Amino acid sequence: MPIDDNYHLDFARQSNTMLKHLDDVRKYYHYYVAMDRRPPNLSQKSQVMVGQCVHQILLEQVPVDELLCHYPPHCLKSNGAINPKPAKEFREAMQSEGRVVVKDEDFKRIMEICNAAHQHPLGRLLEREGTAFEQPIYWTDNATGIDCRACPDFAYNTGTEVLCYDLKITERVAPQQWSRVARNFSYYQQDAHYSSGLAHITALPVRFVFWAIESVWPYRLAHYEYDPISRERASESHQRRLAELARRREKNDWEDPWTTEANFLAVDPWDVPDTDDELEGFDEEEGTEG
């Protein structure tokens, strides 16, 4: 079943995305404390939309014909291009019915990605009995008392450990490329947050696995995990972030130090040319080399 919209609007419990916004304290304050600003909405971007549709088809098992639809003729110009005004009205009407309007090329991509997943060993994991798909979890962090939430893509409790899987739809899945993607989006924080939640509620060790699915031909899949030392560092970073949030809540401190204090700049010796030293081998009077 699709995740209830109330889950995403529950700002009393900290999600991984909310904690990442704590990197910019003032924005966090406006998004989740004063709530006079809305976090960025990226859902209309083509890449994000494709990823969301793949999640709904693979994880929520929403039938394709109930989720996706194409632009009807009245939304197209004579040359086949999309006519903006009627197309927008049609998208809004379909959105109210829980449907997504896609271009032909996006429809093909979505279906190719889903087919690649089903033909891969990942497909067997998606069909395994006893797997919980997109089931929200809630917990209170033992160290800070902060209420948290997460929604793993799918998880499986073996009785001795919890296997938590996350799908990433991306154009770059080769190791050298995807390692940069993981670094840029701080995926280690997601591992730490979700793993903490599952460990809290099950009292079992958690193994967190990313499945990166290529969103362009040839639609390859790759399996990624952080090594044990990296996961330990990520867990420590996660605890420091929660502790910082607890401190700011207690002090009602939502200012960046650099906005309330003097900031000093430094000039390194190599930043300033030394005008006292003559250029070697240059005769100043003659203007020629000596």
Write the CA distances from 147 to 11, 19, 137, 193, 243, integer angstroms. Answer: 10, 12, 11, 12, 12
Mind listing the pLDDT tens digit of every residue in the chain (290 residues)?
Answer: 456 668 888 999 999 999 999 999 999 999 999 999 999 887 778 889 999 999 999 999 999 999 999 999 999 998 888 999 999 999 999 989 989 999 999 999 999 999 999 999 999 999 999 999 999 999 999 999 999 999 999 999 999 999 999 999 999 999 999 999 999 999 999 999 999 999 999 999 999 999 999 999 999 999 999 999 999 999 999 999 999 999 999 999 999 888 888 999 999 998 898 766 555 555 555 555 44
Burial of 19 (0-12, 13-18, 19+ CB in 10 A): buried
- The 3-state secondary structure of 131-185 reads CEECCCEEEECCCCCCEEEECCCEEEECCCCEEEEEEEEECCCCHHHHHHHHHHC
122-255 in CATH: which number? 3.90.320.10
Q: Give the rounded distance of the alpha carbon of 220 from its chain centre.
A: 20
Residues 145-175 have pLDDT tens digits of: 999 999 999 999 999 999 999 999 999 999 9
Encoded tokens for 103: 């271009």
Residues 128-145 have pLDDT tens digits of: 999 999 999 999 999 999
CA–CA dist 257, 270 (Å, integer): 29
> Would you kindly state where each structural domain of the chain is located, as residue ranges?
122-255
